[in-house]
Amino acid sequence: MSVLKYIDKVLKQTAKSSPGQVEFYQAAEEVLHSLKPLLERETKYDEYNILERIVVPERTIIFRVSWVDDNGIIQTNLGYRVQFNSAIGPYKGGLRFHPSVNLGIIKFLGFEQIFKNSLTGLNIGGGKGGSNFDPKGKSENEIMRFCQSFMVELSRYIGERRDVPAGDIGVGGRELGFMFGQYKKLTGTFEGILTGKGLNWGGSLGRTEATGFGSVYFAEHILNKYGDSLKGKTCAVSGSGNVATYTIQKLLDLDALPVTCSDSQGTIYHKSGIDLEALKAVKEIGRKRLTEYVKLCPDAEYIPLSKYPKDGHVCWHIPCDCAFPSATQNELTLTDAKALVKNGCKLVNEGANMPSTPEAIEYLKAHKVLFGPAKAANAGGVATSQLEMSQNASMSNWSFAEVDAKLHSIMKNIFNISYETAKEYGCDGDLLVGANIAGFKKVADSMIDQGSV
Ligand code: GLU
């Protein structure tokens, strides 16, 4: 069977067995198609039915999370944990609490995590979980009760050598704290079963900053390869959560000029540069909307959703040299890619998971825009989670500088392996293909070693 036929056969099976899971299908299609040059050279992956196996999670857990709101009413949400692949280590990946969460979203994130985690060079398998619970507008007590109820069920399936969840959209230090406390109460053990923990109770310095810092380190490596750097570059950043905030901080450190950030209601355009302290005061500390940012920085412009271009995000229509989509999936569309190219953007570096649509990626590629794919560019967060696991296992604490230096070298290795693999397979400069092939090979070869499991 030709390679294309093999890929199409597996994708057809995937579509049939996962109806309606559009994001998962999108992620599977991207990875499988990018493996073509590898599969043409190596027949063993076909012989061992690796593609058929790798698109199916080892285990999918869906559970009810009932909790009592502040009015004494019992509310019910869905909880998920998809343990996708443990060929190279215990399942590892975040928990997302957002109303858009469904099985297809968690499966896409878990699937991406397999290859991302493999690319870090560390021994971590791929998993993801979450809930359609919406933390927005909930009181602290409601969030606590939800997290405790969620952990009652999740605690049956996790463990420091089994499955180690972390944060993602809607899950940060506060939520992880409530979940960790509940796990401890249920099991009577103090174990590193989550990462992103508080610094007083087993967390690692540098974990909070890691995804954003890592994303910027990755972008800098790309630009350096082409004789350029971030210094003096105008950068558009979307989002205003953990990834976006620390992307902005590192861009400022490197003398770049981040001019935008956004939340689900609107975008800030601050031409003289985002004020990091104001952003942190509004979002990290205040947990408020970005409309508050303009009260602190009156020279910044607030662009509400109603002024966004049709089928696009206004962030990508503001002239920039480099774009850092750091909010959520499919937030950078073909319309946006066209605007970026028109305005002379040189680099798109994905801080979020799968933020660019396939059509956008194709257009950017065709117009020679440098592209840092998510699995590589945002791997710094999960890599630093593994550093946290490592410190927990040895009961030690490393300094911020030590963790940051390790993160730096991990991002450099990810860049090098993605770049070199693309070259080896005849796709020079295509980091997406390079990252997917490199991430896949390590996992697939381990699956072959481990037999028909
Ligand atoms: N949610 C993050 C990601 O998408 C971090 C996962 C982790 O630290 O386990 O990679």
Distance 171 CA to ligand 1 centre (A): 11
- At the second CATH level, the architecture of 59-190 is 3-Layer(aba) Sandwich (3.40)
Which pair of structure tokens corresponds to residue 307?
Answer: 């002024």
CA of 343 to the centre of ligand 1 (A): 32
CB of 341 closer than 8 Å to CB of 364: yes
Could you identify the atom of ligand 1 that is nearest to the CA of residue 385? 8
> Does the beta carbon of 176 lie inside 6 Å of ligand 1?
no
Facing residues of 266 across strands? 304
The answer to whether 361 touches 431, Cβ cutoff 8 Å, is no
Q: Which residues are catalytic?
A: 128
According to DSSP, the residues that pair with 82 across neighbouring strands are 60, 128
Measured from the Cα of 196, ligand 1's closest atom is 8
Q: Whose CA is nearest to atom 5 of ligand 1?
A: 382
Predicted TM-score (pTM) of the model is 0.98
- The token duo for 354 is 């799968």
Q: Is 147 helix (H, G, I), strand (E, B) or coil?
A: helix
Short-list 305, 354, 307, 363, CA closest to 327: 354
388: its two tokens: 């946290």
Q: Which two tokens stand for residue 162?
A: 């089994």
Closest of 54, 140, 51, 63 to residue 95, by C-alpha: 63
Of 444, 419, 420, nearest to 431 (Cα)? 419
- Residues 389, 391, 397, 402, Cα dihedral to 10°: -90
d(CA 429, CA 194): 36
Q: Is 384 in the pocket of ligand 1 (CB under 6 A)?
A: no
Question: pLDDT 10s digit of each residue in the chain, 453 long?
Answer: 899 999 999 999 999 999 999 999 999 999 999 999 999 999 999 999 999 999 999 999 999 999 999 999 999 999 999 999 999 999 999 999 999 999 999 999 999 999 999 999 999 999 999 999 999 999 999 999 999 999 999 999 999 999 999 999 999 999 999 999 999 999 999 999 999 999 999 999 999 999 999 999 999 999 999 999 999 999 999 999 999 999 999 999 999 999 999 999 999 999 999 999 999 999 999 999 999 999 999 999 999 999 999 999 999 999 999 999 999 999 999 999 999 999 999 999 999 999 999 999 999 999 999 999 999 999 999 999 999 999 999 999 999 999 999 999 999 999 999 999 999 999 999 999 999 999 999 999 999 999 998
In the reported structure, the alpha carbon of residue 263 is separated from the centroid of ligand 1 by a whole-number distance in angstroms of 20
Q: Let me know how long the chain is.
A: 453
Determine if ligand 1 sits within 6 Å of the CB of residue 381. yes
The gap between the terminal CA atoms of the chain, to the nearest Å, is 24
Architecture in CATH of 210-368: 3-Layer(aba) Sandwich (3.40)
Q: What residue spans in the chain does CATH classification 3.40.50.10860 cover?
A: 59-190
Q: Residue 381 Cα, ligand 1 centroid: separation in angstroms?
A: 6
Kindly give the interhelix angle for 400-424 and 431-449, rounded to the nearest 10 degrees: 90
Intervals of CATH 3.40.50.720 along the chain: 210-368
